[in-house]
Amino acid sequence: MTETPAGGDVRLVGISKTYGTSFTAVHPLDLTVPQGTFFALLGASGCGKTTTLRMIAGLEDPTTGSVLLGDQDVTRLPPHKRPVNTVFQSYALFPHLTIHENIAFGLRRRGIRSVGKQVAEMLDLVQLGDFARRRPHQLSGGQQQRVAVARALINHPQVLLLDEPLGALDLKLRRQMQLELKRIQTEVGITFVHVTHDQEEAMAMADTVAVMNGGRVEQLGDPTELYETPRTAFVANFLGTSNLIDAETVSGAGGEVAVTAGGTVLRLPADRCATAPRSGDRLLVGIRPEKISLVHADDAATVPTGRNRFAGTVAAASFLGVSTQYLIDSPAGRKLEVYVQNIERDTRLTPGAPVVLHWNPAHTFALDPEPQSPDAPAPEAPGTDPAPQVPAATGDSA
């Protein structure tokens, strides 16, 4: 199928949902999903992503705001009058009908008799041409989900909504189906809006990901941008893992910011700071575990100049096959995570070993510090950390 349906962007304008008198599941939200893109709503259970999807589908009435598809305001239209179809986690196929008839269902309901060509096209699209005569129970979970996608797409919706469609599949099949769904979306060119709590799934498929937290979109962007430049601690840790280190700004000049953390000076690009830092500001410096290199302290002289670096001690090492995960205690932070690919393993890097962590300053990002809850314990005073048995590091020592 090469036809691109006429339509337009999905636009949510000030849309919100309050249940009862006081519980707000979705706070007023403005969001545009460009036509023909794969868009993911990503977040933990209860963050409001399904409610948002259901408001697009017409299955939930928004408390405020509007849903627009292209120029059409569909806010008051019932689900079946919207040019939208939904695929749910439960495939909801008709067990007594063949795969062919399951896919033909939407056309037959609209009184279309000659369905053979379109059903064949759909079967080809989801690569189930040989399964037309089977019944759903004779297919695997992944195959049944492909039938559900074909059954929705045969109606030529302007937008396909997918509510955790791969949630019932085992991990390996889920990874295969992610590629499959991405291929199908690219081929049909229809807007897909996908709801998932699985960050890898969102990143593998979506052109744009909206990370939701507590009924709000915390950050929206393409997967690389979200991963490389998270703007909040929630996003930094919901998409993968981040080491977040308490630091204080020393200076910012020429597009570069210098901060101190645990007595060490670190540098980072000014445009990777969530807000423009001023001297004396506290912030959280972030670095992804896979961006950090680790050397034994005896080899500290091999670390190239210009790198951000820390001295530390190996607290734990876990061999994970493709990589080894180290936890490092340092004056700047405890249990900093480092992932080292298992190419040539340094067998000296065992618990207790003195090490130097180093990374490209360009990979560092900075976030505003988390607001302190009044009940939170006071931060430890510098120098009271009992773990690191290393000399205080500076930007060029170690």
Q: From the CB of 47, what's the least distance to ligand ATP, in Å? A: 4
DSSP 159-217: EEEEESTTTTS-HHHHHHHHHHHHHHHHHH--EEEEEES-HHHHHHH-SEEEEEETTEE
Give min distance, CB of 103 to ligand ATP, in A.
Answer: 27
Joined tokens for residue 227: 């991963």
Q: Minimum CB separation from ligand ATP for residue 10, in Å?
A: 17
Strands 243-253 and 282-287: antiparallel
CB of 93 to ligand ATP, least distance (A): 22
Residue (47 or 284) nearer to ligand ATP, CB: 47
| 285, β-bridge pairs | 245, 366
List Cβ neighbours of 149 (8 Å cut-off, separation of 6 or more).
87, 126, 160, 165, 181, 184
Shortest Cβ 1–ligand ATP spacing (Å): 30
Instruction: Return the ∠ at Cα 329 (arms to 323 and 330), rounded to 5°.
Output: 120
- Residue 187 CB, shortest distance to ligand ATP, in Å, is 28
| Minimum distance of ligand ATP from residue 387's CB (angstroms) | 37
Rank residues 44 and 387 by Cβ distance to ligand ATP and give the closer one.
44
Residue number with CB closer to ligand ATP (48 or 157): 48
Paired strand residues for 287: 243
Instruction: Kindly tell me which of 23 and 343 has the beta carbon lying closer to ligand ATP.
Output: 23
Judged by DSSP in three states, 323 sits in strand
Q: Are 88 and 161 in contact (CB under 8 A)?
A: no
Closest CB to ligand ATP among 37 and 51? Answer: 51
Residue number of the CB atom closest to ligand ATP? 50
Give the nearer residue to ligand ATP in terms of CB position, either 24 or 66.
24
C-beta of 49 vs 194, nearer to ligand ATP: 49
Cβ nearer to ligand ATP, comparing 33 with 212: 212
Sites of contact with ligand ATP (CB under 6 A): 19, 23, 25, 43, 45-51, 197
| Strand order across the beta sheet in which 10-19 lies | 23-33, 10-19, 64-69, 72-73
Q: Which class for 394: exposed (0-12), middle (13-18), buried (19 or more C-beta within 10 A)?
A: middle
R_g (Cα) of the chain, nearest Å: 26
CB within 8 Å of 288: residues ≥ 6 apart: 227, 240, 241, 242, 243, 363
Phi, psi (rounded to 5 degrees) for 217 = -85, 115
Of the candidates 151, 181, 156, the residue with the CA atom closest to the CA atom of residue 166: 181
**Smallest separation (angstroms) from ligand ATP to the CB of 54:** 7
Selection from 368, 374, 323, 40 nearest residue 195 by Cα? 40
Nearer to ligand ATP, 47 or 259 (CB): 47
Q: How far is the CB of 181 from ligand ATP (least distance, A)?
A: 18
In whole angstroms, the minimum distance from the beta carbon of 196 to ligand ATP comes to 8
Q: Which residues pair with 12 in a beta bridge?
A: 31, 67
Contact 355, 295 (CB under 8 A): yes
| Cβ-contact 282, 244 below 8 angstroms | no
What is the distance between the alpha carbons of residues 132 and 149, in angstroms, rounded to a whole number?
A: 15
**Cα 336 from chain centroid (whole Å):** 22
Smaller CB distance to ligand ATP: residue 51 or 242? 51
